[in-house]
Structure 1
């Protein structure tokens, strides 16, 4: 299993996007001591991501692709939330997938996709 690490700058903003909007759960957080960068794990079904405030862990503006079953259902859940900062659409790709792309507050691009039969 591969666990991507995405850069973040503020845990509260990350929670608003990943937890409140996308529906991930926070599994754990780690901080060596107060006023040090935070590192955490979030998950949604089979998807596990690490978010890090540590400057050496990742660069803002990364891009990842995540395979997802029933992307239309996931899209309807996101649409119902009426999140002010993102309104992703479903798109059919030339490589026979349906895709939904979101950009987090730290410019990381996440493309959820489902292969079409």
Structure 2
């Protein structure tokens, strides 16, 4: 079996709040949106560099409160960028772990946890 990529799916409950968090605060790009009809739940794909996520309002697609770890370079620059946005609901810090990583953890408005990490030299 050859695998090319993994695309996590996060449960969301409000399209506008999700877009504010992922598109404005975390700087993801909106790739596409899908609804089966007018006034149906949203399913959308967003991406940032090499990371792709699916966000869904559909009941049963996945559980809220999921977590992923995302390896990035220049974590401190990423952290400064997040803080410079003055996002009302998140002001994450940088943690140095016992397993020799630096980490910035953000939790989306729906309880999903994204931990951005960089291996220390």
TM-score band, normalised by shorter chain: over 0.9
Q: Which runs of 5+ in 2 are unaligned?
A: none
The Cα shift of 1:36 comes to: 1.0
1:17 aligns with 2:21: yes
Q: CA RMSD in A?
A: 0.7
1:54 aligns with 2:58: yes
The Cα shift of 1:70 comes to: 1.0
Q: For 1:46-98, what per-residue CA distance to the aligned partner results, in whole angstroms no more than 9, with x for missing partners?
A: 11110001111111111111111111111111010011100001111111111
Q: How far, CA to CA, are the matches of 2:37 and 2:75 in structure 1?
A: 39
Q: How does 1:57-76 map to 2 (within 5 A)?
A: 57-76=61-80
The Cα shift of 1:11 comes to: 0.8
Q: What is the aligned length?
A: 117
Q: How far, CA to CA, are the matches of 1:96 and 1:2 in structure 2?
A: 25
Indicate the SS of the match to 2:7. Answer: coil
In the superposition, the TM-score normalised over structure 2's length comes to 0.94
In the superposition, the TM-score normalised over structure 1's length comes to 0.97
Q: Which runs of 5+ in 1 are unaligned?
A: none
